[in-house]
Amino acid sequence: MPSPAACHLVYCEGWDPLAARPVGLLEPDTARERDEAGEQYAVLVRDPGGEPLVLLEIAWSHDHCGVWLFDADGERRTHHRYARREDGALALTHSRRWPEPAAEEADEEGRLVLTTAVLMGPEWASYHHDYLGGGRTTVNRWPDEDLVSIATRPAPGFGRWEELLALHPRLSDATVRLSEADVEPDPVPVTAPWSPPGPLAPVGVDELFRPGGEHRDARWKKEAEIEVHDAGTVTLPTGRVLVFDPSRLDTITEEQALSVPLPPGEHPVRLSVLRSAAPDREFALVAGVRIDVADLAGTPVDSWEMALSPGQDFHILGEGQFFGVLVDGGSGVVSLCDAACLPRLRELFSDPERDHNLLIGHTEEELARFADRERRMREAARAFLDEPGARTAQHFAGTVGDSMGGEAHTRSGVWLLRRLAHAIVHTEVPGPLTSTDPRERAEDTSPWSRTLDEPVSGGNMVTVPAGYGADPCPMWLGRTADGRVAALVVDTRVIDRPTEV
C-alpha cells in the first residue's frame, strides 16, 4: 500500500531562484479566482519541514501548466511544460533537465548543462544538448520511455494537484495529503518572475539596471553582479531611433527605425555590466544598454513591450521568438543613433572592417595590454642603452615588434635601435593623434562605450559591445503608467534565465 505523504500548499506569483523562496504570496481564494479567470499564478508544494518539492505555474488563458521538480538540495533541475488540449487533457510539449555536475566537473568547459526535449507527438522528439561555453547539439529520435509515460495528464481542477505531484520521485508512489500552508499574503504586489509560453516576454528588464543584483551568466553559469555605468548621452534630432550592427551600415535604411520614436533631444545612456570575479572565469560583459528620456528622469517605467520596426508583426512570432538586432560575430558590437545620422555615417564608414576600432574604441583589457607593452619597451630600451650589446639589442628589438628582429645583427640596425631606444626612454607617452577626420574624433564615454558626433544632422552614434558578441538582442520599450515612452533597452541576453527556450 502506498505510504501517505503530507504536503503543504503555498499560492504565490512564482519562485525566486536567487532568494530560493516563493514571492508574491497569495490568499487561496485569490488564486482560485485567477484560476477561474484563466490568469496566471503559481503553487508551491512543500513537505512538512518546509523543503520545496514541486512548483506549478498555471495560466489557463494560455492553456499552460508548467511543472518544476526540486532536488534534495532545493534546486530546480527538471521542468515539464504541458499544454491543455481541446479535449481538456494536458499534453507534454517540452521537458528540460539541468544535470548536477560532479565536483571535479563543475567548471569543465564543454560539460553538459542542459538537455531540452521538444515532443512533436507520441513517437518523435527533438533533443537539444547545451554545453558549458555555448555549444549545442541536436538529435531527432524516439522519445525516452520516461517521457512517454508522462506524456499526458488530466487537467487538474483547482486544488486537485495530486496527479501532477506524482511527477516528483518522492511522491510518485505516495498517497498525498494536501493542506494549505499558514502564510501571510504579501502586502505589496510583486511582478511574477515567469511568463506563460509565447513570444519572448520582457522578464527581468528592470533588474538589468539594479546595481548589486546577483545573477548567473548564460554561457558559463558563473555567479556575477550587476554594475550600472553612465555612458554619456545620445542626441536624437528627430527621435527616430536606429539600433544596428555597424558592420551592416551599407544595408541599413532609415525606414528601419523603430516604429515608436523617442522624443527628440539629448538623453542619458546607461550600461548594465555583468561582472564576475570568479578565479577561473573573470569577465565584465555588457548585459544591456538603456536610453532614458531626459524629460521623464525619475519617472518609473510601469510596463515594457517589444520595440518593433515598420512591417514587424508581434502576433506572428512563435514561442520564445522576438524581433531584435542581429549582431555579427565579426563586429560583436551594437550601435544606436537617430535615423537622420545615417546618410553621413554611411559616407564616413565606407569600409566597416577597416573602421572597426574607430567604432568600438578599446576595452579595459586592451588598454591594460597597451600599458604593459609600453612598460616592457621602456625597460628593454633602458637596459639596451645602459649595456649595449647583441643580447640587449635583440631583447629590445623583440619588444618593439617581430619586424625589428633582424636589425640587431647589423651596424646600421643597431644604430637605428639606439635612436629608437633613446626616443622611447626620453619622451612621455604620446597623447591621441589629432585629425580632421571625424571618424578619429570618436570618444570613449566609458570602458565599454564610444560616441561619435555626426555634425551634419546634429546627432551622434553610441556603440557598445553586445554581450558575448554574436547573438541577436531583443529591444524593449518602457512606458510610464500614463502611457508615455520613457526608456529604450537593448538586452544582450547574457543573464541566465532558465525558463527561456
Going from the first residue of the chain to its last (501 residues), give the mean pLDDT of each consecutive group of 10, the final group possibly shorter. 80 93 95 97 96 97 95 94 91 92 64 90 88 86 94 95 95 90 87 89 93 90 93 97 90 94 97 89 93 94 95 81 83 92 85 54 67 86 87 84 66 80 78 48 81 91 90 95 97 79 37
Q: Is residue 197 part of a domain?
A: no
| Pair 405, 305 in one domain | no
Q: Is residue 318 part of a domain?
A: yes
Q: Is residue 187 part of a domain?
A: no
Q: Are β-strands 4-12 and 175-180 bridged in parallel, bridged antiparallel, or unpaired?
A: parallel
| Pair 147, 234 in one domain | no
Q: Is residue 185 part of a domain?
A: no
Closest CA relative to residue 123, chosen from 100, 102, 151: 151
Q: What is the model's pLDDT at position 425? A: 84
For the whole model, what pTM was predicted?
A: 0.63
| Pair 288, 344 in one domain | yes
Q: What is the model's pLDDT at position 393? A: 84
Q: What is the model's pLDDT at position 358? A: 53
| Pair 66, 13 in one domain | yes
Q: What is the model's pLDDT at position 398? A: 82
Q: What is the model's pLDDT at position 462? A: 95
Strand partners, 79: 68, 96
| Pair 323, 420 in one domain | no
| Pair 217, 337 in one domain | yes
| Pair 125, 146 in one domain | yes
Q: Is residue 293 part of a domain?
A: yes
| Pair 300, 325 in one domain | yes
Strand partners, 216: 223
| Pair 22, 165 in one domain | yes
Strand partners, 95: 80, 117
Q: Is residue 432 part of a domain?
A: no
Closest CA relative to residue 377, chosen from 361, 358, 409, 400: 400
| Pair 176, 262 in one domain | no
Residue 66 dihedral angles phi and psi, to the nearest 5°: -105, 145
Count of domains for the chain: 3
The C-alpha cell of 179 is what? 493542506
| Pair 418, 448 in one domain | no
The residue behind cell 533541475 is: 77
The C-alpha cell of 472 is what? 541577436
| Pair 462, 338 in one domain | yes
Residue ranges making up the domain that contains 249: 206-361+442-491
